[in-house]
């Protein structure tokens, strides 16, 4: 996701430098080119060789190196950076940048660059809450510098409070979102995700194999692209993306009602959930016990509301996207759904194909619109599926 991007990682002297090594690894896995600049204080905690090995680049730390090329180091680094990330950022480094002090390679590069700067503070709670630190951060925010807030917990000094450097996984997500074009800004998008469950008794229920991954990727990418997102989800093992309006539901009726709460203000409804089409006619208040003489059990089911069909019939200017997970007659079944549910387009996939369907990280999809146009994709990740769906939505908007 960061292919072709150069991230200049500034590492300053704090115990949280161990997280910076993980951060380099994660950025490399996203295909970013990582250049590391260390302060002298950082070298007291970890060696440049560690970052050199992990980044596959020479580590920069000396302000006055012997000139081996016609590039002035701090200027060439400043020019090549698509983004500067300082993690961990000590109170000392934050103060220097806020007050225009450039007395080491890192602060000099920051002053010489026009790239976006992201700062991940890491320090003792008292230092973080200190008036001067807060004023320095306030000043930098006013100048356009961005901060990812520290976490709270047990610090290396033994204190408990704010000051833990943000986790590398969160910093990487922040960096990735920074490079996403905000082409859905001002749009309200409602996304349903995951399965629903229908109780048989207090212990048992019926459900399906939906993991919710595509819906959660849709929500994450839509937020990154500037949309206001309502994520209505059945039970999953996933963590909701930051900055979404998360609504947790259980039954199909719950999901139907939740969609109704947001539908009138929604520009786009993406119905990626796999709700149960039927529910038990009666749910036992007590656990159904096994009985010796009974070898079979019959359960009567009744139909659940068809969420996408109902709101498809109510739509005015909304774009509605449906899904068709099929085992046979893929295009025939998908086209029927487009017409019967009044969809703008549908995402169809054959779940019998290897690498498609539920509980995997990839899918093989065909997008079919209400004019009969279709575009098929090879096996791609579910995150890429989400991006392609939102690209189609953007084009329709």
Residue 80 CA neighbour count, 13 Å, CB half = 17
Q: Fill in the DSSP letter of residue 304.
A: P
Tokens found for residue 272: 């990626």
Tokens found for residue 320: 């509605």
Tokens found for residue 175: 């960096």
Which of 90, 106, 93, 94 has its CA nearest to residue 137?
94
Which of 196, 173, 242, 189 has its CA nearest to residue 383?
173
Tokens 């896995």 — which residue? Answer: 29
Which of 300, 289, 357, 299 has its CA nearest to residue 323?
357
Which of 385, 388, 394, 383 has its CA nearest to residue 30?
383
Tell me: cis bond preceding 375? Omega within 30 of 0 counts.
Answer: no
End-to-end Cα spacing for the chain: 24
Tokens 């937020």 — which residue? Answer: 223
Measured CA to CA, the distance from residue 112 to residue 319 in angstroms comes to 46
Q: Fill in the DSSP letter of residue 241.
A: P
Interhelix angle 91-98/131-142, nearest 10 degrees:
50
Q: Classify 356 as helix, strand or coil.
A: coil
φ/ψ bin of 351: left (φ > 0), alpha (ψ from -120 to 50), beta (otherwise): alpha
Select which of 157, 203, 396, 397 is catalytic.
Answer: 157
Which of 39, 62, 35, 65 has its CA nearest to residue 51?
35
- Is there a catalytic annotation at residue 120? no
Q: Which residues are catalytically annotated? A: 157
């Amino acid at each position: 996701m960061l292919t072709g991007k150069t991230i200049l990682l500034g590492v300053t002297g704090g115990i949280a430098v161990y997280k910076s090594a993980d951060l380099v690894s994660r950025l490399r896995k996203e295909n970013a080119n990582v250049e590391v600049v260390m302060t002298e204080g950082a070298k007291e905690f970890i060696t440049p060789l560690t970052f050199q090995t992990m980044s596959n680049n020479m580590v920069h730390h000396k302000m006055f190196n012997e000139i081996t090329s016609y590039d002035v180091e701090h200027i060439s680094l400043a020019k090549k950076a698509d983004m500067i990330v300082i993690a961990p950022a000590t109170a000392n480094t934050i103060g220097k940048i806020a007050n225009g002090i450039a007395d080491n390679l890192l602060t000099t590069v920051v002053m010489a660059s026009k790239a976006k700067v992201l700062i991940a503070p890491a320090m003792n709670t008292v230092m973080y809450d200190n008036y001067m630190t807060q004023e320095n951060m306030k000043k930098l925010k006013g100048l356009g510098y961005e901060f990812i807030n520290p976490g709270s917990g047990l610090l290396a000094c033994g204190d408990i409070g704010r000051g833990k450097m943000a986790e590398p996984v969160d910093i990487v997500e922040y960096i990735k979102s920074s490079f996403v074009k905000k082409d859905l800004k001002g749009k309200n998008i409602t996304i349903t995700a995951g399965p629903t469950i229908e109780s048989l008794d207090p212990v048992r229920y019926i459900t399906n194999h939906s993991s919710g991954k595509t819906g959660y990727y849709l929500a994450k990418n839509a937020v990154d692209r500037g949309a206001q997102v309502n994520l209505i989800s059945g039970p999953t093992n996933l963590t909701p993306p930051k900055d979404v309006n998360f609504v947790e539901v259980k039954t199909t009726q719950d999901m139907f009602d939740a969609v109704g709460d947001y539908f009138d203000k929604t520009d786009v409804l993406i119905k990626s959930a796999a709700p149960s089409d039927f529910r038990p006619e009666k749910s036992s208040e007590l656990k159904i016990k096994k009985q010796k003489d009974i070898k079979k059990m019959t359960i009567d089911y009744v139909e659940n509301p068809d969420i996408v069909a109902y709101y498809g019939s109510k739509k005015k200017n909304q774009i509605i996207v449906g899904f068709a997970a099929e085992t046979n007659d893929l295009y025939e079944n998908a086209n029927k759904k487009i017409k019967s549910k009044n969809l703008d387009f549908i995402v169809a996939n054959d779940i019998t194909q290897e690498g498609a369907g539920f509980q995997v990280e990839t899918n093989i999809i065909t997008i079919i619109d209400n004019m009969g146009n279709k575009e098929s994709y090879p096996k791609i990740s579910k995150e890429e599926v989400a991006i392609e769906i939102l690209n189609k939505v953007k084009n329709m908007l």
